[in-house]
Amino acid sequence: MDENLRIEDRYFHSLIQSLSSTIISQQISYQHLLETFLHFLDESSYTEIDEGEILDHIYRYLSNIPEEIVAPIRLKKNTLRVLEKVVELGFDATAINISKILGKDHTTIYREFDRIANRYNAYLRTHINFYKLGLHLYFILIRLSKDEDDNLQRAMDELSKVRYIGEIYEGVGENSNYIYSITFCPHFIADSLANKFERLMKNNVIETFEFKPLTNRIYMTSFIEERFEPTLDNYRKLLSEEIKCVKIKTWDNNNIKQDPPLKFSEKELNMLKTISVYKSHSLANPQSYRVFTAQLKQFAVEQGVDINKMDDFLSFMNAQRNQLLENDLIGFRLELTVSDLAINDILVIKVSCNPEDEKILELINKLSIFSWISFFILHDEIVIQIFGLNSDHVITNIITELIIEFGFDYEKFTAKSKVWRFIPYADLYHVKGNKWSLF
């Protein structure tokens, strides 16, 4: 017992020391630090505070160390059970609904629900049902020679002309630079782009390119009950399952119903406008929306809604969202914010394989130990994304060692977001003929 206490004391003191170093190295202000402490303390009654767990979360929240950011998220068993129901229920995940399913007291469930919502700034991100829009999901990858900034900008400008593309990343690998995107568009847009980049390749502006349809997207998040020291040895133990974690699938495109595309009338274009402006909402408060603000204001003005009148605005947004849900045009994916810092680096690994190979399914399961990892499935490869790592990190090395051990070839690079913008779906859709625009 005394030895256990000494271990706890040593861990507590090491956390205090690490937290102090983080505060000094990042020049975190007193106000920011105080607000962070109060944020984590406010949600718990003082009789049930676990000092080590609270410090653990605060340290990780303020940390900019990759191995801290990508580690499994620490959650108690009861909280994890509630979170699993949040993922399962999506938009219908309320404390009342979850308490009925789990057969627990409503106030207990609400406390756990509130812990998830507040401690991790949890929100539900919208995912569009691209089948019902008549769009298709594409993987875009462009390789360029290193140190040719003019060519990089030219290729970036060409891609940016396409209004269907909302996110573009620039990447750096060992032998090439990259431009990378995942986008929804009609097949003819992908064909048109492929023709343009074929010409750019012939003119030596780019080295090679890939425009391929995706067959699935899978997002995973991992959780652990006990505290986790993010050492390289412990990451190896996670991969070998010597250290156990809970792996939760927060999104899988295979769960989307593949219904025929809708034909939108002039009045129904409002649904496309809502899809464009509506990014996500808070888990704690479904009426706390994240939106493209400027475009929402314009949309509201067109509908005669004063967004400065909160009741009118919420009534308008709730009605628009209900219409999308009734027509099965959107779904929701739970996202948790484990760090207070903007995560700039994204590790991208492209693995050549047959995605239906049992070994690939095993590899996906083994790699799903990180706090935020996604798998984009193509016909002849998978693309792995891990937020918070770069292609030179030591954890990346143990990932690539595992891929080689499974007998697969891979390509890796570090990506950073360069374009993140509004997509005007209503402007791109022609009611006459029910077709999507080329431009």
What are the tens digits of pLDDT across the range 148-197? 889 999 999 999 999 999 999 999 999 999 999 999 999 999 999 999 99
Q: What tokens appear for 398 in the block?
A: 């143990």
Least Cα distance to 399 among 61, 67, 75 occurs for 67
3-class SS letters over 321-349? HHHHHHCCCEEEEEECCCCCCCCCCEEEE
Tens of pLDDT, residue by residue over 212-245, are 999 999 999 999 998 888 999 999 999 999 999 9
Go through the chain and tell me how many residues it has.
439
**Mean pLDDT in residue range 131-157:** 95
- With b for 16 or more beta-carbon neighbours within 10 A and e for fewer, the 9-30 pattern comes to eeeeeebeeebeebbeeeeeee
DSSP-derived pairing of the beta strands 373-377 and 216-224: antiparallel
Is the pLDDT score of 47 beyond 50? no
In three-state secondary structure terms, 25 is helix
Q: What is the mean pLDDT of residues 412-430?
A: 97
* Local structure of residue 91 (DSSP, 8 states): G
For the chain, what percent of residues have pLDDT higher than 70? 84
> CB-based contacts of 158: which residues, under 8 Å, 6+ apart?
196, 197, 200
Q: What is the mean pLDDT of the chain?
A: 88
Please state, for a pLDDT cut of 90, what percent of the chain lies above it. 69
pLDDT digits (tens, 9 = 90+) for 355-370: 999 999 999 999 999 9
Residue 107 reports pLDDT greater than 90 = no
Q: Please tell me the number of Cα atoms within 13 Å of 393 on its side-chain side.
A: 25
Give the model's confidence band at 121: pLDDT under 50 very low, under 70 low, under 90 confident, else very high. confident
pLDDT in tens, 12-37: 556 556 556 656 556 666 566 555 55
In 3D space, the residue among 10, 4, 5, 40 whose CA is nearest the CA of residue 340 turns out to be 40
pLDDT digits (tens, 9 = 90+) for 64-101: 688 888 999 988 888 899 999 999 999 998 888 999 99
Q: What is the predicted pLDDT for the residue at 119?
A: 75
- Among the listed residues 416, 373, 400, the one whose alpha carbon sits nearest the alpha carbon of residue 169: 416
Mean pLDDT of 403-432: 97
Taking 70 as the threshold, does the pLDDT of residue 339 lie above it?
no
**Which carries the bigger pLDDT value, residue 68 or residue 271?**
271
290-310 tens-digit pLDDT? 999 999 999 999 999 998 899
pLDDT attached to residue 59: 57
pLDDT at 44: 53
Q: What is the pLDDT of residue 46?
A: 44
DSSP readout, 377-406?
E-SSEEEEEEET--TTSHHHHHHHHHHHHT
Paired residues of 249 in beta bridges: 220
What's the angle, vertex CA 393, arms to CA 387 and CA 397, rounded to 5?
105
What is the rounded distance in angstroms from the CA atom of residue 272 to the CA atom of residue 133?
9
CA 266 to chain centre: 33
Q: Is the pLDDT of residue 248 over 60?
A: yes
pLDDT on residue 438: 84
pTM, whole model, 2 decimals? Answer: 0.87
pLDDT over 60 at 8, yes or no: no
Q: Which residues contact 100 (CB under 8 A, 6 or more apart)?
A: none
Contact 69, 339 (CB under 8 A): yes
How many whole angstroms separate alpha carbon 245 and alpha carbon 75?
Answer: 10
Instruction: Tell me the mean pLDDT in the region 238-262.
Output: 94
